[in-house]
Amino acid sequence: VTNNRQLSRYRNHLRLFKARGLRTFISIEPMFERIDTQLIDPNITDWVIVGAQTNPYRPPEKKWVEEIVSRAKELSIPVFLKNNLKRICEVLIKQFPQTKFTGGNDAKQ
């Protein structure tokens, strides 16, 4: 998703996938506007991925990324910042959701 409108619509798909027992994620890339973090629902979201537009390079505002990271942390949702955010983020968080293979959350920080 690239904006709030898309995320609002996408949430309906997440609910359907989650009801079927599937792992769900929100991929916010390229991020073109501030995302309403209240749209990130821990009941239907297992993972959040954030990235910039790559060609031509168009990064989101650092504050927007920080808000998503903060909300994900608050909700205990792993977050993955793509390498194309290196220019605006000092630390690129590379967390992964729990799997039956890892036995625990790979969310290392």
**pLDDT (tens digit, 9 = 90+) per residue, 28-70?**
999 999 999 999 999 999 999 999 999 999 999 999 999 999 9
- Predicted pLDDT at 8: 87
- Predicted pLDDT at 108: 45
- Predicted pLDDT at 88: 96
Choice between 10 and 31, residue whose per-residue pLDDT is larger: 31
Rg (alpha carbons) of the chain, rounded to whole number: 14
Of 2-11, 14-23, 24-33, 77-86, the one with minimum mean pLDDT is: 2-11
Proportion of the chain in helix, strand, coil states, percent, rounded to 5: 30, 15, 55
Name the average pLDDT for the chain: 90
